[in-house]
Every structure is written in structure tokens, then in C-alpha cells.
Amino acid sequence: MSNRPAGTRQARELLRVAFGPSVVALVVIAAVTLLQLLIANSDMTGAFGAIASMWLGVHQVPVSIGGRVLGVMPLVPVLLMVWGTARTTAAATAPNSSWFVTRWVVASALGGPVLIAAVMLAVIHDAASVLTELQTPSALRAFTGVLAVHAVGAVLGVGSKVGRRTLHRSPLPNWLPDALRAAMAGVLALFGLSGAVTAASLVVHWGTMHDLYAITDTVLGQLSLTLLAILYIPNVIVGTAAIAVGSSAHVGLATFSSFTVFGGDIPAVPVLAALPTPPLGPVWVALLIVGAASAVAVGQQCARRPLTLLPAAAKLGVASLVAAVTMALLAYAAGGRLGNFGDVGVDQSTFGPAVFLWFAGIGGLTVAMSGGIARRPRRVAEPAPEPQAAEPFDDDEPVVEPDEPDEPEDHEADFEPDYQRGYRGGDEEPPLDVEEVEAPDEEPIVAWSSGDTTADTDRSGHYLEDPEEHFIADHDVTGDPPRDRAD
């Protein structure tokens, strides 16, 4: 964790967001331009104008040289600029960032490049006064291109942090993130499969690519052609994707589709050797499998969380629409005017609708077959309640039963004389000659014999002792016969 104050740390992050990607691109462009001029033994007169023009070209701003417009810009620098902007904005945004902080991050991502674009326009205008062939581009076109490129990167970067939270708090449906994920999967699948077809076509047309390299004999020229071909590879892949969904691509007068090819002049760029040549074989018709496979990827992503019929159809429709718009924007960025060759690009009137129809049609079939449509639960009718007899009291009031009085305990019934312990009464007489038993804390009790029927008892049932038994008779001491009481 940094020990800097929060204000200083946030200021550094905003400066990195505003100028980081643009300055890095400017440094790379300057290094490549100066290296090319140094190798060609050229003076540095128009170096700053060339650097400024290339920096604007990275943002899809056409460059005019000697009355010829170069509007077909390579997609690799543009995609790298979008990725850099998205990465810096995502690093400066926390998942729990407030709307105030998010606005400052987006404003910095747009404000810094616009400021640099104004400086580049001034540099080009100053260089055009020395190099008459260099023309200053339209200011409106320049600012629009710069804002569009960095706005896309800022939305992607900030959306990756706070997008899901914003969607959950909004009244939008909960399946919208799944639809965006499905659209991204479809675009990546179509782009990746088209790239594989482009690589295979380059291998098949290896001889044509070798002939295109033959226009230069120097190592520097061949290296420059290789670098140029690498930068334009995404442009060719977008054209292959257009052919894969049934649309067409064109380079000037030359038109290419899965069903027919019209020839024409082609620029000497080695990567364009992947374009089909007439007569067109049946293998190019099989390229439609790429569009179907990409649509299957969209359907599988939409079927991950099954929904009922209407929400599932809406999710698939939104995913197909977003994917079609994304591919249309890529096709617009990949095309433009190429000097005397004319316009280069795809047929925009059929490309976007074709992508939508493929993704919605084959994707919908995939959703249905993958179990992405959940059945609506049936409503079971509840049985009518049976009529109940009226009760004399309210059901809401609790029933309180009266407490029964406790019966008095009969201590005398529980009392058992000591001499009857171990004996339970019946018709039999108690045992005879019971020995004297001493009860605790009581006087000894003498049991009665069976012949004594006059023994007295107390109120508790204890038999009283006979006091005469404690008298000593005469014959017990002296041995004389007992005397009568009269004596």
C-alpha cells in the first residue's frame, strides 16, 4: 500500500489515465519514424509532421499526402490504443468507486488525448507550411476519431469494474450481463475462426505472397512489407468474417464473397494474398460453417441460465444485436479510401444484418436444443376449504381451561407403621414375635403378640408399650414364688 496522501495518489492516477496510453503511442511512433528516416539517409525536415500524422492515424484520422487520401488504417494500433485506455481506467477505478470518482476517471481518459490531438494538429499545420504535399486533416474529424477511440476504451475499463453493480441497481433486466457475455463470445468466435481461415488461405496462396514480396529487393523493404502485413492482418480477418456470414468484401473494383469473385487491382501487401482468386472453388462455400459455428457459441452462452420463452428470446436478441453492432464498427474502422485503388472494406448494408440473422437463427436453435428455455411452472388449483361448524366462541381468542384444585395430600395414608415394613396386609395375620425395632428420633416400639388383643394404640396407629413389662417380679430376683397382688 502506498504511503502517499490520497489526494496525491489520485492525482497521479488521473495523470496516468489522461496521458499514459497516448504518450506511449507517441514515443513508439516517433522511434519507428526516426529509425526509418535514419535508415533511408533522409533529412529530418518533415519528421515532426510525419509523427503527428501517424499519431492521428492511430485514431482512425485519414492522412492526406500529395492529394491522395490514406483512410484505410491498420486495426492493430487502434486495438492496442483501446486496450491501453481500458487497462489504465480499470486500474484507476475501484469496484466501490462513487459516481463522482468515475466521472473524473472518464473525463481524464478523454481530456488528455483531446489535448494531445490539438497539439498534433498544430504541428501538422506548421509542417504543412514547409512540406506542401502534407495537408492538415479536418479538425472535426480528428477530434471525433480521438474521442471515439478513447471513449470505447474508457467504457470497457470502467464497465469491467462498476458495470455489474450499475446494471443490478438499474431497472434493466437481470439477464443483460449474460447477453453481453454471449455477444462477446460470438464476436471472438467469429473473429478467431475467420483468422484461422485467413492463415490457411495464406498457406494455400503461398506463391502469390512470394510474388508480392518480389516488388522490393532490399532487406529493409521486405522488413517494412512484413511489418505492414502484420498491422493489416485484423483488417483482412474482418473481410473474411464478412464472407463467412454471406456478405462481401471489396478492394477497389475487386469484390469477394462465398459465391463469386470479381477481379481487379490489388495493393502489393503480402497479407492480401489470402484473398480468393477466380475461378472460385466450392471450398469457399464451406466458409459459411464459420458463421454457423459462431452462432452456436452465442446460443450456448445464452443457454447457460435457462429462462422462460420471452426472456430467453429477448436475451438472444440483445446478444445478437450487440454482436452485429460490434462487427459493423470493426468493419467501419477497417475500411476507408486507399488512394487510387478506391474504397476498401465490406458491404455494410449486408454485413451487420447477416451477423444478426446468423446469431439469432442458429443461436435460437442452439438455445432450444441446449435446454435454455425453461418451462413455466403450472399453477395447481387449491381445493375449496370444507365448511366448518360454528363454534360458540371466537377462534381468535385462546381457550383457557380452569385450573383444577390440588387435592390435599393424605399423609396418614402414606404413613406405614414400622412393624409393617416389608409386609403388605391381607387376610393373613401379622407375623408373631416381632422383635423390637428402634425408629430414629422416637422411643422404641414393642410389637404386640397374637395373644394380646387389648393392646392400646395411639392416634397414629402405633401400639403402646405395657408398663407392667418393665416391673421386676419377686421370683426373678429372689427365686421365691410370685406373690398375689392382694399380698
pTM of the predicted model, to two decimals?
A: 0.73
Can you tell me the distance from the alpha carbon of 133 to that of 156, in angstroms, rounded to the nearest whole number? 38
Cα–Cα distance measured from residue 59 to residue 147, given in angstroms and rounded to the nearest whole number: 9
Q: Among all chains, which residue has been given the C-alpha cell 485519414? A: 62
How many CB atoms are closer than 10 A to CB 217? Answer: 8
* Per-residue pLDDT tens digits for 313-364: 999 999 999 999 999 999 999 988 887 788 888 998 899 999 999 999 999 9
Q: What pLDDT digit, counting tens, does each position of 75-107 carry? A: 999 999 999 999 999 988 888 878 888 889 999
Say if residues 88 and 24 touch (Cβ distance below 8 Å). no
Helix (H, G, I), strand (E, B) or coil at 337: strand
Q: Rounded to the nearest 5°, which phi and psi values hold at 398?
A: -70, 145
Query: Partners of 256 in the beta sheet?
Result: 249, 261
Give me the residue label for grid cell 418393665: 470
| Inter-residue contact 73 to 66 (CB < 8 Å) | no
How do residues 165-194 score in pLDDT, each as one tens digit?
A: 777 777 888 888 889 999 999 999 999 999
Tell me the mean pLDDT in the region 440-467.
48
